[in-house]
């Protein structure tokens, strides 16, 4: 199973490809705009990304360029209607690992994704550590004061977001937009139980927690 980012502005196609990948037991974050896709790929760890070229806000090729410029190593596949040779060359030169034109055969897409994931090489993901909390994105494990902590997938996604933005306060609305792939399907009341469960799990014997409520601003993960 791999964690994948899928960016596609054609909503029926986005839904279909996401379902196809999930049937293959992959975890998929979906983005219908380039702006959201860029935010996701720069702030979260993915085993691979499938990008459309023509996305609202930020083009797929620009997402690829910015990601590579910031040191991103995960493989990227362009899934696009741009079939001319110049576009293929430009896409690959921007840092993409593969290029598949629409319309496409679903079995070929899955085969290319399997091949892309097999080619992944390089150092493992860096463990994210803030204070007494350590998270391994590869193994999906959370340690608090060197003790393994059980967390759900969504709790881990929420924790990863806070670990990548330590000492920064975020409103409930900002957390909804950045952590939930479909923020319109949830409400602030949905977020608060996740925060409470995480805080309970990440509180030491003296009753201290790094996950703090910032009155008037939201929540933040303190480094001490």
pLDDT digits (tens, 9 = 90+) for 137-170: 878 899 998 899 999 988 998 998 898 888 888 8
Q: Of 80, 88, 36, which Cα lies nearest the Cα of 58? A: 36
DSSP assignment letter at 57: S
CA-closest candidate to residue 33, choices 6, 12, 13, 15: 6
Q: Is the pLDDT of residue 122 over 70?
A: no
Percentage of the chain lying above the pLDDT 70 cut? 95
Above pLDDT 90, what percent of the chain? 36
Residue 15 has pLDDT above 80, yes or no: yes
* 184 band by pLDDT with thresholds 50, 70 and 90: low
Q: What is the largest CA-CA distance in the chain?
A: 63
For residue 90, pLDDT over 60 is answered with yes
What is the structure's pLDDT at 71? 81
Contacts of 97 (CB under 8 A, 6+ apart): 75, 76, 77, 116, 119
Range in 75-84, 89-98, 122-131, 152-161 the model is least confident about: 122-131
Calculate the alpha carbon distances from 59 to 32, 38, 84, 165, 177 in Å.
Answer: 12, 9, 17, 25, 20
Q: Please list, residue by residue across 152-183, b when 16 or more beta carbons sit within 10 angstroms of its beta carbon and e when fewer do.
A: eeebbbbbbbbbbbbeebbebebbbebbbeeb
Q: Are the beta carbons of 95 and 64 closer than 8 angstroms?
A: yes
DSSP string, 116-133: HHHT--SSPPPPEEETTE
Distance CA 18, CA 29 (A): 8
The answer to whether 48 and 77 have CB atoms below 8 angstroms apart is yes
What single DSSP character describes residue 184? G
* Six-digit token string for 135: 């998270």
- Over 90: is that where the pLDDT of 13 sits? yes
CATH numbers and ranges of domains, the chain: 3-118 (3.40.50.2300), 128-221 (1.10.10.10)
Interatomic CA distance for residues 132 and 129, integer angstroms: 7
Mapping DSSP to helix (H, G, I), strand (E, B) and coil, where does residue 23 land?
helix
Question: How many C-beta atoms lie closer than 10 Å to residue 24's C-beta?
Answer: 13
pLDDT tens by residue, 25-46: 888 999 999 999 999 998 888 8
151, 137 Cβ separation under 8 angstroms? no
């Amino acid at each position: 199973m791999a964690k994948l980012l899928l960016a596609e502005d054609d909503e029926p196609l986005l839904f279909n490809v996401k379902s196809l990948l999930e049937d293959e037991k992959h975890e998929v974050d979906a983005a219908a705009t380039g702006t959201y896709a860029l935010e996701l790929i720069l702030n979260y760890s993915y085993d691979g990304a499938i990008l459309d070229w023509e996305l609202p806000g930020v083009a797929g090729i620009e997402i690829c360029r910015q990601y590579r410029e910031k040191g991103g190593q995960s493989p990227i596949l362009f899934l696009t209607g741009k079939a001319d040779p110049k576009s293929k060359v430009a896409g690959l030169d921007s840092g993409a690992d593969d290029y598949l034109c629409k319309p496409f055969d679903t079995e070929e897409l899955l085969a290319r994704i399997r091949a892309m994931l097999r080619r992944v090489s390089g150092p493992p993901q860096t463990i994210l550590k803030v204070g007494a909390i350590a998270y391994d994105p590869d193994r999906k494990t959370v340690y608090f004061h060197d003790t393994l902590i059980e967390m759900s997938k969504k709790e881990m996604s929420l924790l990863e977001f806070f670990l990548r933005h330590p000492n920064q306060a975020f409103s409930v609305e900002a957390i909804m937009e950045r952590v939930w792939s479909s923020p319109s399907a949830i409400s602030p009341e949905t977020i608060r139980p996740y925060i409470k469960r995480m805080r309970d799990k990440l509180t030491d014997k003296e009753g201290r927690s790094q996950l703090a409520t910032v009155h008037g601003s939201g929540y933040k993960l303190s480094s001490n």
